[in-house]
Copies of this chain bind each other. A is one copy, B any other.
Amino acid sequence: MNGKTPLKTRAAAKAAKKPRKRLSGEERRAQIVKVASGLFSKKGFKGTTTREIAKAAGISEAVIFKHFSRKEDLYKAIIDSRCSDNEGGPRLIGMLKGKSGREVFMTVAVYLLEEHQKDPSFMRLLTYSALEQHSLSELFLKTRAMELLGFLEDKIHELIRDGLMRDVDPALAARAFIGMVDHYSIGQELYGFKRYFRRPLEEVAESFVDIFLEGTRR
């Protein structure tokens, strides 16, 4: 058992116990953001302690405060990393340009359902943020949500002008569509609906697009 370290047992034990990886500032920062993000999404900002974050990251609390002077700053760093341009939003809008009506709505539905399914923690984070009135939801609203709704609104307007849709309120119709899709994901992930009810992602998307497009067809 202790054959290797008959003497110096304390130092040896310590060394054995802690194969401590020493990370660079940037690496550690990113790790903390990732760990905290996961915890905040599960338990909320108030519900997560800096101690827990430190423990989960395998470091002492002081390290967190070397990188983020306040717990609140950690939240902001998470926002930046989650809402940064390299992932998400812009990609979707880019995918939509030049597509036909049905293709647009189908793409949006599949994209949103896939995103939620791939990473349900973001939706939780966003919802917590909205409730706790942090800026994440505000930022997300103004960058992502509004952009997508605006795009759909324009598209609907265009379809109406071209006589392909009935004369519905474009803003309301856009929200109706996003509502169907988002609310489905929220039900599955937050309210535990998936225990009672589950459909293949494509089937869900197809159904919603059908209902929406038939409902708005001229």
Q: Residues of A with Cβ closer than 8 Å to B?
A: 43-44, 46-47, 124, 127-128, 130-132, 137-138, 141, 145-146, 166, 168-169, 171-173, 175-176, 178-184, 186-187, 190-193, 196-197, 199, 203-204, 207-208, 210-217
Instruction: Give the nearest-CB partner of A187 in chain B.
Output: B175
Cα distance A211–B43 in the bound complex, in angstroms: 37
Distance A47 CA – B132 CA, assembled complex (angstroms): 9
CB–CB A171/B197 < 8 A? yes
- Report copies per complex: 2
| Alpha-carbon distance between A29 and B54 when the two chains are bound, in angstroms | 40
Q: Once the chains are docked, how many angstroms separate the CA of A193 from the CA of B131?
A: 14
Q: Which of A127, A137, A166, A179 has the most CB of B within 10 A?
A: A179
Interchain Cβ contacts under 8 Å between A and B, 11 examples? A43-B132, A44-B44, A137-B190, A175-B197, A176-B180, A176-B211, A179-B179, A179-B183, A180-B180, A210-B215, A214-B217
Residues of B within 8 A of A213 (CB): 215
Within the complex, what minimum Cβ distance (angstroms) separates A142 from chain B?
Answer: 10
Closest residue of B by beta carbon distance from A172: B207
A49 CA / B3 CA spacing, docked (Å):
54
Most B Cβ at <10 Å: residue of A173, A190, A211:
A211
Question: Which chain B positions have C-beta within 8 A of A173?
Answer: 207, 211
Q: Report which of B178, B190, B215, B216 forms a contact with A130, defined as CB distance below 8 A.
A: B190
Apart from A130-B190, A179-B179, 17 more pairs, CB < 8 Å: A43-B132, A44-B132, A46-B46, A46-B47, A145-B191, A146-B196, A166-B214, A168-B211, A169-B199, A169-B203, A169-B207, A172-B207, A172-B208, A173-B207, A182-B183, A214-B216, A214-B217
List the B side residues contacting A169 at CB < 8 Å: 199, 203, 207
Q: Is the CB of B192 within 8 A of A184?
A: no
Known contacts being A175-B184, A183-B178, is A210 close to B168, with CB within 8 Å? yes
B44 contacts A192, C-beta separation under 8 Å? no
